[in-house]
A = this chain, B = another copy of it.
Amino acid sequence: MLFSSFHFCLWGLFFFPTGVVEVSVRSPMACWFSAMLYCFGGSVLSSLMLGEPPVAFLAKTINILLASSVWYLVFYCPEDMFYRCFSLMPLRLLVAGMKEVTRTWKITDGIAHANTVYKDAWLVMVAVGWARGAGGGLISNFEQLVRGVWKPETNELLQMSYPVKVTLIGAVLFTLQRRQYLPIAKHNLMFLYTIFLVVFKVKMMLTRDATSPLAPFEAALSQMFFGSQKTPSKVKGEGVTSSNGSSVCDQPSEQHHEGAKKKQAKKTE
């Protein structure tokens, strides 16, 4: 557990968003607090959701000291030696892999904990499992606020990143398994899910390819349930209007768009 926390922190800190280095010089306190929110965000968020003390993570003093040491070494080590060591690809891969292992644990821990508070409320289980596993991402707006950055026009619900999406899928799968809707043992599912996470993480790091392996499924589901033509080409197509063959597939989109406008107009009244 302690070991996993170390790796999580390390990883969290290495993939810190832009602008943190300036904050680390301006205000070490805000930088530290932001780093702690990044590392323990899942714990804070799931505690808040279950009405438990969000400072619980501070009670595990040894974890905080460890994470703080990593934070200190990353930002203030002379000559940036620590950062340079861990920037080497093999070490990065090792740390990234270990972090994905801890993600699985976090999700299942969250689900088990939610189940003790609300017996058999599967939506609560999914929500808490997701929050525990992807907390740092979900509260990123507020983590940024600590650093004096505020980007209200974007959040992880509007534009879900790959880790947040895959954690949500994991939370759904583990909840289904616990409710015994999946014909698979828990440890097998954990193994398979972790393998999936690690393989795709390593692949994405090695190929520097940010395209999500979930993209085709998403597009299909989105098309099926929400009838959405999210492709930018469609939007462009609306501007062209001189194409002849596209009338069949354009019509519903136009209609939908018109409907949307009408709806909007009614709602603003």
Of B24, B117, B146, B152, the residue contacting A148 (CB under 8 A) is B152
Q: How far is the CB of A180 from chain B (nearest CB, A)?
A: 17
Cβ–Cβ contact A152 & B157, under 8 A: no
**Cβ-based interface call for A70 (8 A):** no
Cβ–Cβ contact A264 & B18, under 8 A: yes
Cβ–Cβ contact B48 & A54, under 8 A: yes
Cβ–Cβ contact A28 & B158, under 8 A: no
Total copies of the chain: 3
Interface of A is mostly: helix
Cβ–Cβ contact A227 & B148, under 8 A: no
**Cβ-based interface call for A76 (8 A):** yes
Cβ–Cβ contact B260 & A158, under 8 A: no
Residue of chain B at shortest CB distance from A141: B145
**Cβ-based interface call for A153 (8 A):** yes
Cβ–Cβ contact B27 & A158, under 8 A: yes
Residue of chain B at shortest CB distance from A17: B267
Chain A, 137-181, contact with B by CB distance < 8 Å: what is the 0/1 string? Answer: 000010001111110111101111000000000000000000000
Q: CA–CA, A158 to B83, complex, Å? A: 24
Q: How far is the CB of A267 from chain B (nearest CB, A)?
A: 6
Of B17, B158, B256, B268, the residue contacting A23 (CB under 8 A) is B158
Residue of chain B at shortest CB distance from A147: B158
Residue of chain B at shortest CB distance from A21: B260
Interfacial residues of chain A within 4-38, with CB under 8 A of chain B in the complex: 14-30, 33
**Cβ-based interface call for A239 (8 A):** no
Chain A, 72-110, contact with B by CB distance < 8 Å: what is the 0/1 string? Answer: 100010111001000100000000000000000000000
Q: Which of A57-65, A186-194, A195-203, A240-248 contacts B (4 or more CB under 8 A)?
A: A57-65
- Collect the chain B residues with CB atoms within 8 Å of residue A50's CB: 53, 55
Of B51, B154, B256, B266, the residue contacting A51 (CB under 8 A) is B51
**Cβ-based interface call for A263 (8 A):** yes
Q: A20-B267, A22-B260, A61-B122 are in contact. List 19 more A-B contacts (CB 8 A).
A: A18-B264, A18-B267, A21-B267, A26-B230, A28-B222, A28-B225, A28-B228, A29-B157, A51-B53, A55-B118, A55-B127, A58-B123, A59-B124, A76-B225, A80-B256, A146-B155, A148-B153, A150-B150, A150-B152
**6 A-B residue contacts at CB 8 Å?**
A21-B264, A28-B225, A30-B155, A48-B54, A58-B124, A79-B255
